[in-house]
Chain A
Amino acid sequence: MDGKVSWTMPVLFELQDACFEYDGIPALRGLSLEIAQGERVALLGANGSGKSTLLRILDALHFASKGSVSFDGQRLTPELFQRDDYALAFRRRVALVFQNPDVQLFNPTVFDEVAFGPLQLQWPKETILSKVAEAMELMGVTHLRDRPPYRLSGGEKKRVALASVLVLDPDVLLLDEPTATLDPRSQSQVVDLIQEWKGSSKTVITATHQLEIVEDIADRVFVLEEGRVAATGIPPEILPNYELLLRANLVHAHRHSHGSVIHSHPHLHSHSKHEH
């Protein structure tokens, strides 16, 4: 499993032996992968496996300290992002939804929040107003237009964070734990949204450790372990591989008793089917 793309569309992201450290502590250790245009990819891994760091590398917020990261054939470097024309074109095409919505909601009102991206990209005022209205409608947050973000619930914050990114209509959407902290209804809304993009030219890369949504949101899965790709494949290949998921700390043994018999089996939620 080498992480190479077997997709008919052109390769969009290509990472070769990419490394990254936070204050000397390695987060990515020689990670290689390819992601094609239009693919829906899930990054699976336990906490600290490098999922969030990888998304930030793909969004050019961090740059690899060793190895290379390319987008659409162009190597991503800090020097390249000194150029306003390239940086703004890249930001228009690639967008990231952060795991913690409080990080992403820094404006005084929901409207300002959703309008922030288009304003920075200097769209015409009329376009901004109509696109912001569309994005708020899509995520069901129109009624929160004038509310300050600190007065929203966790689910509302996440929906506003999504609207603030979807308003840009990006080609590539990077989602960091998009369903974490959401109630079941909001979770299914997000999953439905990602499903709607299937077959479109949008590339959706989702970091998650919620195995039960993987089949719905991804055509291909990368399992990350200690900053490297431990395995890659389609969901029906990866999800039943209990040893792999156990090693990557994505499942745990569930011990319980039936009368006097105590036994254990993998805890896999919707994918766990076992005989008693």
Chain B
Amino acid sequence: MKRGFLESTFVGFARVVTRAMISEETARRRGLLQALDPRVRVVGLFSLVLAVTLSRKISVVVALLTVAVAIAILSRVSLFVLVKRVWLVVLGFTAVIAVPAIFVTPGDPVATFGFLTITEQGLRTAAMLILRVETAVTFTTLLILCTPWTHVLKALRAFRLPKEAIAMLAMTHRYVFLLVETASQMLESRRSRTVGILKPAAQRRMAARTAGVLLSKSIELSNEVYLAMQSRGFRGDIQILSDFRLDAWDYLGLTAFLLAGGLAVWMGR
């Protein structure tokens, strides 16, 4: 049966969630990033993202992108996944903003197409924008692909983010899977009882009802979860246990990240 727009949107969302689960497979592989303490990964990769945004020279951003690819290879991240899920997608979005810059940035003309003139400065601006975004997103993606979500959360705890905010992030991540599963079952159940193709208006009504039922279920679930928390002693202030330990390898990794970031900022002035 042909899927409607809303159903296709939901299927797409479910696919993204499934991908998030698959990414944990990469996080379990033995590699450069995986061997480092999650806190080092968070600080190190964000320092490189900061270096990307502060660098003003294309050559330095290209060098940082090369570093990102090297880290990906050493961390056993599939370059195919990186190209397909990051570079092409980011290129599509960034090009929308970057392409007009080629024509509207004043400077030395390189080529003219009718009333449109491509300038050297325009090409540099567009290339810089695309390269910066591609490189920054690659570093961020490497963190997500090589670190289980639970470790990212624990690392954030170490940086003294409010416990409540982290607990909300953790529970959102935890229950989004359950709600996607529930919604998926509801859609399957509806499809199994639907004969023929529904008209768009009927599809919209059905989707609205499904969303309403899902909302009721999620409210009921949140009430139940709160009772389960209370039952085990929760009194409004979440207590946590941090069991990370830094070793020599982590200090070495952190130093390398910070040196690379600092060098890039200095050279890219």
Chain A interface (Cβ within 8 Å of chain B)? Answer: 56, 59, 61, 84, 87-88, 91-92, 95-96, 98, 100, 102-109, 112, 115-117, 119-122, 125, 128, 146, 148-151, 164-165, 168
Contact A148 B231 (CB under 8 A): no
Given contacts A100-B224, A164-B232, contact A108 B239 (CB under 8 A): no
Chain B residues closer than 8 Å to A128, beta-carbon distance: 241
B171 adjacent to chain A (CB < 8 Å): yes
* Inter-chain contact A149/B241, CB cutoff 8 Å: no
For window 208-226 of B, CB contacts with A under 8 Å fall at 221, 224-225
Known: A56-B227, A100-B224, A125-B241. A108 touches B232 (CB 8 A): no
Taking the nearest CB of chain A, how far is it from the CB of B131, in angstroms?
35
**B224-A119 in contact (CB<8A):** no
Identity of the chain A residue whose Cβ is nearest the Cβ of B169 in the assembled complex: A108
Task: Decide: A150 and B232 in contact? CB cutoff 8 A.
Answer: no
Q: Once the chains bind, are B150 and A103 in contact (CB under 8 Å)?
A: no
Nearest CB of chain B from residue A169's CB, rounded to whole Å? 13
Q: Does B245 contact A (CB under 8 A)?
A: no
B149 near A108 (CB under 8 angstroms)?
yes
What are 9 of the A-B contact pairs (CB < 8 Å)? A61-B227, A106-B171, A106-B174, A106-B229, A120-B232, A120-B235, A128-B241, A146-B148, A164-B232
Counting chain A CB atoms within 10 Å of each CB, the highest count among B148, B230, B240 belongs to B230
Let me know if A61 and B233 touch, CB within 8 A: no
Q: Residues 18-53 of chain B: 1 if any A CB is under 8 Å from the residue's CB, otherwise 0?
A: 000100000000000000000000000000000000
Q: Are B174 and A148 within 8 A (Cβ)?
A: yes
Mask of B226-269 contacts with A, CB within 8 angstroms, 1/0: 01111111110011110000000000000000000000000000
Closest 3 CB pairs of A and B: A120-B233, A108-B150, A117-B232
* A251 CB → nearest B CB, Å: 30
Beyond A96-B231, A103-B224, 7 extra complex contacts between A and B, CB < 8 Å: A87-B235, A103-B221, A103-B228, A116-B232, A117-B233, A146-B148, A149-B174
Chain A residues with Cβ under 8 A from B21's Cβ?
Answer: 151
Q: Classify the interface of chain A: helix, strand, loop or mixed.
A: helix
Q: Is the CB of B225 within 8 A of A106?
A: yes
Q: A115-B241, A120-B234, A148-B150 are in contact. Are A108 and B174 (CB under 8 A)?
A: yes
Query: CB of B178 within 8 A of chain A?
Result: yes
Name the distance in Å between A206's Cβ and chain B's nearest Cβ: 16
Q: Does B177 contact A (CB under 8 A)?
A: yes
- How far, in angstroms, from A98 to B238 measured CA to CA in the complex? 21
Q: Given the known inter-chain contacts A108-B153, A108-B170, please indicate yes or no for A61 contacting B177, CB distance below 8 A.
A: no
Give CA–CA (A103, B239) in the complex, Å: 19
Whether, in the assembled complex, B173 has its beta carbon less than 8 Å from a beta carbon of chain A, the answer is yes
How far is it, in angstroms, between the C-alpha of A164 and the C-alpha of B150 when the chains are bound? 18
CA distance A102 to B227 in the complex (A): 13
Asked if A98 and B241 sit within 8 Å, CB to CB, the answer is: no
Choose one: A59, A102, A115, A121; the contact of B231 (CB below 8 Å). Answer: A59
The answer for the CA separation of A108 and B175 in the assembled complex, in Å, is 10
Q: Is the CB of A98 within 8 A of B224?
A: yes
CB-based nearest B residue for A55: B231
Chain A residues, CB < 8 A from B170: 107-108
Whether A61 contacts B231 by the Cβ 8 Å rule is: yes
Residue of A nearest to B225 (CB): A106
